[in-house]
A and B are shown apart, each in its own frame.
Chain A
């Protein structure tokens, strides 16, 4: 059973003074997220990522379409006990302490009183806020609030967690911790659906990703599939800063750094390059196939979308 099935969810806002001008925030979206995977929902700012998440959370109502979460209608209130949600740039009741806030959310999520206290302590420890659990949230930094947000999303041990830009506002250490946490959630058998525009995060974490732009789905698939379009080229790296003339003659794309040389060549030229390096007594460091990065795939999809919009106009 898929964790999420989005069946043509669409959202159009009526804008303007008289609210007569339609503005499409999300074109009919069809998407399936499998149970137990980390799914990245990628797109530039204003692409429709947050709208999709708000629709799934029941915060805005769709113009048409439906969805199923964990096998139930997404509007079924019982579903919400099994999902966690971290909104983008979260803001919480700042008159509460982190402990009080989690306690309150635990109450609302129906965590039994006996387990609640223990669970709150456990989550505070997990997100690294145990030492400041008695401090009011108004004194928290942006990064600390993000940690509180992650804590409240996983507090009630949900089967499915939605994170909207979870790395936003976090320092490198914090980002690393969130990555580890997501991997841990996956290891526990939970499904993680997260939106981001930071592609390196998605590349490092996700089993599959979807790319959305201007409210339309532009591509979906496993990271390996999207990035495996090898262009028949390999990257050769060797130590030093000398480039043998025979390699230059091959017309390779060469980048020289103070201690290394990187050359991108056709696969068919690989043996000739290795021979040349041996002859010149250069030390080979690595030979790796060139893969299309997720970033390249992403940019290509966005460019393609821009071109099709331009040609329609």
Chain B
């Protein structure tokens, strides 16, 4: 179990403020979606939670300051699935998923039986056991995304931050991926995902953070935050939102022309 809290976090890349004055707290067992237009600062916000970018304010992980926490310690508490990962060496799938165990290895030790079991579980959950001996760089986009997902799951951390885990996945695999994130949260993990598909986000997430211009402009359940006014303000679109079903669905109607 782990908690993450942001206290007035700001990130500047060069002289440009990418994230400003972001405060939020995240609890175990919830799946939170971070949504917002391109360039809004979603990924940077996610990276700030992992202390991957220098930030003002404070990120607390279980009440401890993340910036002062040893990297290995942080790595065992939060698993991270970066956006569109490039693979630099042609490793086998099993070896690649095994990289997820690095935070748990003592110096100069080898993978233990427990590590091997974690790797198996992760591969089983993303259904890549059959790809075990394939070279990861030679897989299709969907297969590769699942393998990288398995790599993040293999950490078996109490928290998972995934940056656009649905990119390059077909609709079927998108649902599989969101099912996996949901299952992680239901099993007690703290899960945060940067997402683009609003309907997918509304369907699976317990809570949505809407980010625009580096600020958190809305924070709440999907039904509460997804309103036509907000979508017009943040995305510049006209949208119809149907709240009648099990989850809200968002249909984009058109672009809002400036001055129209």
A and B physically associate:
no
B interface residues, Cβ below 8 angstroms from A: none
